[in-house]
Amino acid sequence: MDNKILIDLYVQWTSENNDTSITRFVQACAKELQNSKRSITPIGENNMMPSFVTSKVKIATNSQFGGRGGVWAWCPVELVVEWLQTQEDEVKEHCGKYLAWVNKYGKAWIRYSGTSKAGIAFEVRIMGSRLDHKTLIMRLDAEYAEGLEMMGATPFKLGLEPEGIACVSLDDMLIKFNNANIVDSNEVSVDNESNMGEVVASSLVDVSEEIDDAVDNSGDDSSEDEEIEFV
């Protein structure tokens, strides 16, 4: 930082406030920076939303995720599983009960945490919805987050977190989704083969009709019918 700029600011401040206290000057600078913090866009963070967008997104998300039950939203289980796969081993080791819950109901639940330039933040409360998980934050694109289905109540109130359920490992969930993707892929292949068979059959019919037409239109001057040999 250029010291001359700082000195010039200090001189300007002392003349405007008739005060030479360095402590009060620093406090005034800190207050000004705090007030301007929301309008500052970090340099080099091209993937983040600009500050003017963030304020609008905050208004929308705060309205959408308002109230005690309104902060909870449904999301696809596979989305949470993929996110958990990127976390540290300690998280993976303790997410078994949460995975069992969401696997049982076929949906996962996440809790709105806040909005920033990096996106919409949601807590993934793997140890239970009544415990804060401030460091387990999954960030979603604002447009995607706005399309989430709201739960209307907490997972605990909806009875989605039974204690006696057996844990499910993250590896088992990954295998489940991989197998499902393979089945979907095979179904597409079977459909493609079926369609191809219909095309081939249709082509054979067309060829057969062309051959029949050729035979019917042949000249009558031939004394003997020609035999057509299909190879």
pLDDT in tens, 138-184: 999 888 988 999 998 999 999 999 998 999 999 999 898 888 777 66
- pTM (2 d.p.): 0.54
Q: What's the confidence (pLDDT) of residue 183?
A: 61
Strands (E), 27-155: 72-75, 108-116, 119-123, 137-140
**C-alpha pair distances (Å), 53 with each of 35, 116, 119, 136, 148:** 18, 10, 11, 25, 20
Clarify whether residues 15 and 93 are in a common domain: no
Clarify whether residues 29 and 88 are in a common domain: no
Q: What's the confidence (pLDDT) of residue 7?
A: 82
Clarify whether residues 30 and 57 are in a common domain: no
Q: Is residue 217 part of a domain?
A: no
**pLDDT beneath 70: ranges in the chain:** 1-2, 34-64, 66-69, 183-231
Domain boundary (129, 154, 172) is at 172
User: How many CA atoms within 13 Å lie on the side-chain side of 166?
Assistant: 1
Q: What's the confidence (pLDDT) of residue 195?
A: 58
Q: What's the confidence (pLDDT) of residue 16?
A: 86
Using alpha carbons only, how large is the chain's radius of gyration in Å? 34
Q: What's the confidence (pLDDT) of residue 5?
A: 81
Clarify whether residues 35 and 81 are in a common domain: no
Query: Of 60, 65, 125, 120, which Cα lies nearest the Cα of 99?
Result: 125
Domain boundary (172, 199, 221) is at 172
Element (H, E) at 128: none
List CB contacts of 85: < 8 A, sequence separation 6 or more: 92, 170, 174
Q: Which residues of 106-143 are buried (b: 16+ CB within 10 A; e: fewer)?
A: ebbbbbbbebeeebbbbbbbbeebeeebeebbbebebe
Q: Which domain holds residue 153?
A: 51-172
Q: Are strands 119-123 and 108-116 parallel, antiparallel or unpaired?
A: antiparallel
Tokens of 188: 């597409």
- Please state at what angle helix 96-105 crosses helix 77-85, rounded to 10 degrees: 160
Clarify whether residues 69 and 155 are in a common domain: yes
Clarify whether residues 20 and 56 are in a common domain: no
Q: What's the confidence (pLDDT) of residue 38?
A: 42
Q: What is the DSSP string of 9-21?
A: HHHHHHHHHT---
The number of distinct structural domains making up the chain is 2
